[in-house]
Amino acid sequence: MKKLKPITVNVDELISLNHYNVDEENAHIELDHENLDEVDDTEFQKLVRVCPAALYKVDEEGHKSFDYAGCLECGTCRICCEDTIVKKWEMPQPTMGVEYRFG
Amino acid sequence: MADTDFDIIVIGAGCAGAIAAYVAAKKGKSVLVVERGEYAGAKNMTGGRIYAHSLKRVFDDYSEGEITTEDIPYERKITHERISLLDPESSMTIDFTSDELGVDGRDSYSVLRAEFDQWLAEQAEDAGAEFINGIAVEHLLKDDAGKVYGIEAGGDEITAQVVIDAEGQNSLISERELGNPRSKRDAMAVGIKEVFELPAEEIESRFLCNEGEGAAMLWAGDATHGYTGGGFLYTNKESISLGLVATIEDLSQSDTTIYQMLDDFKKHPSVAPIIKGATLSEHSGHMVSEGGYNSIPELVFDGCLVAGDAANLCMNLGYMVRGMDLAVESGRLAAEAACDAIDAGDTSKAGLASYRTKMDDSFVIKDLKTYALWPETMENWHRMFTDYPKMVGEIFNSMFVVDGKPTQHLKKRIMPIVKQRGLFKLLGEVKGALKAL
């Protein structure tokens, strides 16, 4: 795996243009450890690279973060890591999640 | 045959599902479509362009002349095909236009799925299909022998003689309930796309298109910073769809995230002017099957058929991408096979087997078979994404740069640039690609 070049784009601003019904109660994606420090670094780094909504982040101090709220429901993280660190991947609850207006 | 709530249940109201529902309803069957989006298209995204032939055939065969091309909410007729080799410092683009591209039956159109899928769903509904929106199918109902006889969604059990799984590319039901394999990381790509709004006249002048017509464009090279994949653009009526596709395996090892790649791509000097002054309206993501023929899963099960993206029916040839016309055709064939099986009183795997036979005889499987070697050829053709765009830039620089120094014959200028890469290696690679394509 190559070292990641600096990230200059703020994806949170981009996905804020989308329409979502965020399900605060239910996480439709879960990793194998609730404490992200225990999640495998290399596998997590793969998710950082492939997720188009930048839900998987590692900050400058090396701390991992994950938030399903801006999920585009593409399933890329599932194909990438369901056999390793992605423990749960379900469709969001009824009427929840992203709602494309263009698509 | 036991009484069921519906003759046919369709999972998903995309191109495959809505067309399957439309055809089955037209054939007089009771049909329920279960769509997880609040409206059809709410969870869908395409590049995207649809080749119109398969949709035309469905409506020619089943609408009694009521639905013609003019009724379909296409964005623009694509009359310009652009392919581009992108290097960080140069860009070489071919812009092809031809009367042939617009001929009825050979025409293709850009679409936006929110509007397009809702229209498709309306046609199915007008034909008599019922819809449940906003709920995902969680499980398939199976009897002791493993035969599918319905679905479970939102805690309700609904039965049918045949279930058509058109759930889309993130195919949870196909994998978890039918036992099809999960796609491999090197046979699946992630697509990322942004929609930029621009006035219609502005789009036509930026792409040299006549009114109502538009362009499709694909980039290889620096769009994905040399990793396997490429950039794409489709002009809509009053917006531009711009994005990237990158193979998950290659991308997961790369030095750039997919969203940073898109940001860099948007800022490339040859791309930035395209979207200058445009308003960003949506940021979306979707997977794209890249494995071709060898990625097609089992299509026929006891009481169940798989169609569209869920069956990995996608062709990325590098210079063109097809998926929606394959989805439409597979939806039609699945519905026809399901209706025949119901009429014959046998919806077992054997009774539904005509779906596979019809698919094998159709352009869907035939074309995927023709290009069976291409996905691996492209996957391993690293220089196509790295050194060849650079080489092309050097060749064109040698032709067009004038600095006042005495010049040399073209051959003397160009041959060193090509030889540096190995002329025979280059010819061999091109020959291999032409053979796989």
ipTM score of the complex? 0.98
**CA atoms within 13 Å, Cβ hemisphere of B149:** 12
Share of chain B above pLDDT 90, in %: 98
Q: Which residues of A8-41 are buried (b: 16+ CB within 10 A; e: fewer)?
A: ebebeebbeebebeebeeebbbebeeeeeeebee
- State the CATH number of the domain containing residue A15: 3.30.70.20
Per-residue pLDDT at B285: 98
Share of chain A above pLDDT 70, in %: 100
Rounded to the nearest angstrom, the minimum Cα separation between B133 and chain A is 8
Across the range A66-89, mean pLDDT stands at 97
Domain membership of residue A41 (yes or no) is yes
Residues in B touching A4 (Cβ below 8 Å): 255-257
Per-residue pLDDT at B17: 98
Identity of the residue in A5, A76, A80 whose CB atom sits nearest the CB atom of B256: A5
Across the range B305-330, mean pLDDT stands at 97
Q: What is the spatial distance between Cα A71 and Cα A74, in angstroms, rounded to a whole number?
A: 8
Across the range B379-397, mean pLDDT stands at 94
Nearest residue to B236 (alpha-carbon basis) of B72, B76, B98, B408: B76
Question: Which of A50, A88, A90 should we substitute to test contact with B (largest number of B Cβ atoms within 10 Å)?
Answer: A50
Residue B431 reports pLDDT greater than 80: yes
Residues in A touching B191 (Cβ below 8 Å): 52, 74
Tens-digit pLDDT profile for residues A12-49: 999 999 999 999 999 999 999 999 999 999 999 999 99
Q: Which of A57-61, A85-89, B1-5, B124-128 has the lowest mean pLDDT?
A: B1-5
Per-residue pLDDT at B225: 97
Tens-digit pLDDT profile for residues B285-300: 999 999 999 999 999 9
Domain membership of residue A2 (yes or no) is no
Q: By the 8 A CB rule, do B222 and B266 touch?
A: no
Residue B314 reports pLDDT greater than 80: yes
Domain membership of residue A75 (yes or no) is yes
**Between chains, do A51 and B43 touch, taking CB under 8 Å as contact?**
no
Q: Which residue of B has its CA nearest to A1?
A: B253
Domain count, chain A: 1
Identity of the residue in A1, A17, A53 whose CB atom sits nearest the CB atom of B285: A53
**Between chains, do A49 and B134 touch, taking CB under 8 Å as contact?**
no
Residues in A touching B286 (Cβ below 8 Å): 72, 74
The helix (H) or strand (E) run that includes residue B50 is strand B49-51
Domain membership of residue A76 (yes or no) is yes
Domain membership of residue A4 (yes or no) is no
Do the bridges between strand B213-221 and strand B77-87 make them parallel or antiparallel, or are there none, so unpaired?
A: parallel
Q: Which residue of A has its CA nearest to B115?
A: A102
Domain containing A40 equals 11-98
Domain membership of residue A45 (yes or no) is yes
Q: Which tokens sit at A51?
A: 């997720």
Identity of the residue in A54, A73, A74 whose CB atom sits nearest the CB atom of B259: A54
Q: By the 8 A CB rule, do B220 and B328 touch?
A: no
Domain membership of residue A63 (yes or no) is yes
Residue B1 reports pLDDT greater than 80: no
**Between chains, do B44 and A73 touch, taking CB under 8 Å as contact?**
no
Q: Which tokens sit at B311?
A: 């069956």
Residues in A touching B136 (Cβ below 8 Å): 91-92, 94
Tens-digit pLDDT profile for residues B398-425: 999 999 999 999 999 999 999 999 999 9
Q: Which tokens sit at B377?
A: 């050829």
Tens-digit pLDDT profile for residues B239-267: 999 999 999 999 999 999 999 999 999 99
Q: Is A18 on the interface with B (CB under 8 A)?
A: yes
**Between chains, do A72 and B256 touch, taking CB under 8 Å as contact?**
no
The size of the A-B interface in CB pairs under 8 A is: 154
Residue B2 reports pLDDT greater than 80: no
Q: Which residue of A has its CA nearest to B47?
A: A103
Domain membership of residue A6 (yes or no) is no
